[in-house]
Amino acid sequence: MTVLLETIGVSKHYGAFRALDDVSIEVNENELVSVVGPNGAGKTTLVNLLTGLTKPTKGDVRFKGASVVGAGPVELASHGLARAFQLIQVFPQLTVAETIAAAVVSRQRKRWRVFASLRGDGAIAARVREVAEIFGLADRLDTVSATLSQGEKKLLDVASAFALDPEVILLDEPTSGVSTADKHGIMTTLIRAAKAAGVKAILLVEHDMDLVAAYSQRIVALTEGKVLADLPTDKFFADPQLIATVIGKRRGQGQGGAH
């Protein structure tokens, strides 16, 4: 197996509080790895370390074998590691085409002249349409992002990350706020899009255990900043006590906390 993304003994302390404590995980090529755990387990802190938003107190973060501690999200994206950042919350008045174009322009290291680029750069316009079609948003290119349905907004968030041409993508609860009926449709679209875009691995932070069970090859369970388990999906769900510890409830009795 080829290790694409890993943490080696990372800890993150905020004064006396240990958000993460000696956490080592790997994401290998051709894997979808889910990170699960109750509120305060350290899931979001871990993703922030992996995407360069914060530095570990100790330990190392490596992408394709090289340390990326201190590298910010823009630099990491240029190397092939991207995270869905919910751009539509930052730029709600941009159209679908403009939102995707912002990511395309960033990936190509061109100036942030998104509107001019869409009008005058055929390659960017073609790439925007290509990404939109993968995510079923081709007929919404001229729609203002803020007016999309919640499900469409989630797809646009992730489409923007895919437009960065990542080898590894990190998804932090990509279906939160979406109706239960739409969640599997969104996840199916994401998996299909990942394959079409050549994404080699996905790290998914998710509290909906039905989604975790349906799409993960492996599950990393965090609790109180430590790795409680790192198991193939079938072995994880074969341990009711482990599920109860991580989620706080048995499957079928409701979902656990998000963070």
183-221 pLDDT tens trace: 999 999 999 988 888 899 999 999 899 999 999 999 999
Q: If you ran DSSP here, which 8-state letter would residue 163 be given?
A: T
**Can you tell me which residue has the tokens 């290998």?**
28
The rounded mean pLDDT for the chain is 86
Segments making up each domain of the chain, as ranges: 1-80+166-177+190-259, 84-164
User: Which pLDDT does position 139 carry in this prediction?
Assistant: 96
**Rounded to an integer, what distance in angstroms lies between the CA atom of residue 31 and that of residue 58?**
26
How high is the pLDDT of residue 111? 46
Q: Which DSSP symbol is given to 63?
A: E
Supply the DSSP symbol for 238.
T
Q: Which sign, positive or negative, has the C-alpha torsion 141, 146, 152, 155? A: positive
| E-strand stretches of 127-217 | 168-172, 201-205
pTM confidence score: 0.86
Instruction: Put residue 206 in one of left, alpha, beta given phi > 0 → left and psi -120 to 50 → alpha.
Output: beta
Report the topology of domain 1-80+166-177+190-259: Rossmann fold (3.40.50)
CB 19 within 8 A of CB 13: yes
pLDDT reading at 88 higher than 70: no
Res 75: pLDDT: 85
| pLDDT tens digits, 131-149 | 999 899 999 999 999 999 9
Tokens 């979902």 found at = 255
